Amino acid sequence: METAIRQKIDTWLSGNYDADTKAYLNKLLTDNNDAELNDAFYKDLEFGTGGLRGTIGIGTNRMNQYTVGMATQGLANYLKQTYPNEEIRVAIAHDSRIKSDTFAQITADVFSANGIKVFLFPELRPTPELSFAVRELKCHSGVVITASHNPKEYNGYKAYWNDGGQVIAPHDKNIIGEVQKIKSVDEVKFAGNPDLIVKIGPELDEKYRKMILGNVVFPDVIQRQKAMKIVFTPIHGTGITQVPQVLELMGFTNVHVIEEQAKPDGTFPTVVYPNPEEKEAMSLALKKAAELDADLILATDPDSDRVGIGVKNHHGKWQLLNGNQTGSLIIYYLLQAWKQAGKITGKEFVAKTIVTTDLIDKMAADYGVECPNVLTGFKYIAAKIKAYEGEKKFIAGGEESYGYLVGDAVRDKDAIASCAIIAELVAYAKDKGISLFDMMREMYAKYGFYYETLISLTKKGQSGAEEIKQMMNNMRNNPPKTVAGSPLVRLLDYELGQDRDLINGTTKPTELEKSDVLQFITADGTKVSARPSGTEPKIKFYVSVNEPLENKEDFDAVFEKLKGKVASIVEELKLS
């Protein structure tokens, strides 16, 4: 065992840590379990730009009461520096994960011990409702305890700022600096002040639901199609606290909750990964939908910021839509609805991330609506909404990883509001005598058939990190001349902040923050984006191809052509 690791262990054994923690460490030492001890102490769990995320357990590299306490103390110190003469207010929520409620209470205690007023959800609630609460309760900051859709061993800590969005520059780096200054658990004020902790009551739930009901475009359509069959699964998470209630308030009378997955449970007993992007996590919902001959499947992840959906395709078979397809359909519907209502004046916008389908840009341009592209991460969409406040009205936005937002009352991706608009979408299509899948084919016939896929290559450990860095360097210095036979016409390097036109040789700034992302765009509109993951030992490649769809009856033939094109790109660029 390295000396530095042993010194950390000794600090925990001699310091102000609880007896159970010390007994566990002594047992690991007695059993010579160096592998477990090394992994638990070889580094400190880093407070990154999104907060903390790690496996639950004892040690500096784990999510536990001490790492959560130190993170909160650092955030409290920064808030007190930033707002020196104000009564500081924070809101706290948690999901269904193991120890989420415990970590939320510790967070509340540390804030209150520092003289900060805390608004605490007494029970689990969706992440977007925390964002809503920050704004509604006029808080300076907020925290949600969640690890989103990570495996059950994980938990996390996400920090929000006063606009309800996750922290961005300069606050993110400044908070990290304050957290890193906390060198000892003795610096953390754990003894909470109950007088400063206020339990959030049901009235906030009601306001949140009312806000979502305000997004309904055609209540008469919902009334006509109120009996359509909806299958919903919260995958053992927070969605159960809001989705069935919102659908009922909208007027839908035939909602079927997957009972085996209805109860919040951080062990996620029915799935391998609690992720609606995974077909396996949707298997129970798919089975129930087939039994009922349902119209729609909705599935939210544990903290309800992402939603996956399933519909019947044009062959009558159940199909799960990907994040780009669902996001495009939401924008397609809302743009039509806003124009029909006379609400498009030239001062509206939608927003998406740079790796999300360009179909959304094309549709927005058709309606004279701006579509800014931002870096990956919904906090950048939130920042764009804040930047345009008072100038332009936000319609909706999204990212390919199953996260969408309708309206600006929340500043994070919102699966509850998304479930509501998707259910209305399906009702609207049904009212026209078509399915949602038919509506998607109609959209492709009008704007082009866009097909996207994501390839993730896992490269573990230090050698993996070096390999990923080398791959990015190689692509940066030796970009391909062609992709799938089409010449490269544009190269965007967000690390260097350069947008190069390879036809006329000009270069302009990307005008976004620096980020290690490369994008190759060809003459036929093919786009390949390369991006190392910020939270996992992976490099991700986002491939987007498109073809005209002259007639929606040609869907299958064009789809096969696009899949073949993607397969050739994967082989050509050695992405497998």
- The residues annotated with a catalytic role in the active site are 148
Cα 529 to the center of its chain, rounded Å: 19
Cα 378 to the center of its chain, rounded Å: 7
Q: Residue holding tokens 């002594």?
A: 26
DSSP 201-254: -HHHHHHHHHHHHTT-S-HHHHHHTTT--EEEE-TTSGGGGTHHHHHHHHT---
Structure tokens at 261: 């997955």
Structure tokens at 401: 């990883």
CB-CB neighbours of 481 under 10 Å: 8
CB-CB neighbours of 196 under 10 Å: 18
- Measured CA to CA, the distance from residue 208 to residue 200 in angstroms comes to 13
* CA distance readout (Å), 172 to 117, 167, 279, 376, 410: 21, 5, 35, 16, 20
Instruction: List Cβ<8 Å contacts ≥24 apart for 13-17.
Output: 15/184, 15/185, 15/186, 16/185, 16/186, 17/66, 17/185
- Measured CA to CA, the distance from residue 473 to residue 481 in angstroms comes to 16
DSSP class of residue 309 equals E
- In the chain, how many H helices and how many E strands? 18, 23
Phi, psi angles (nearest 5°) of residue 178: -70, -40
Asked if 532 and 540 touch (Cβ cutoff 8 Å), the reply is yes
Q: Is the dihedral of CA 175, 96, 100, 98 positive or negative?
A: negative
- Measured CA to CA, the distance from residue 501 to residue 215 in angstroms comes to 40
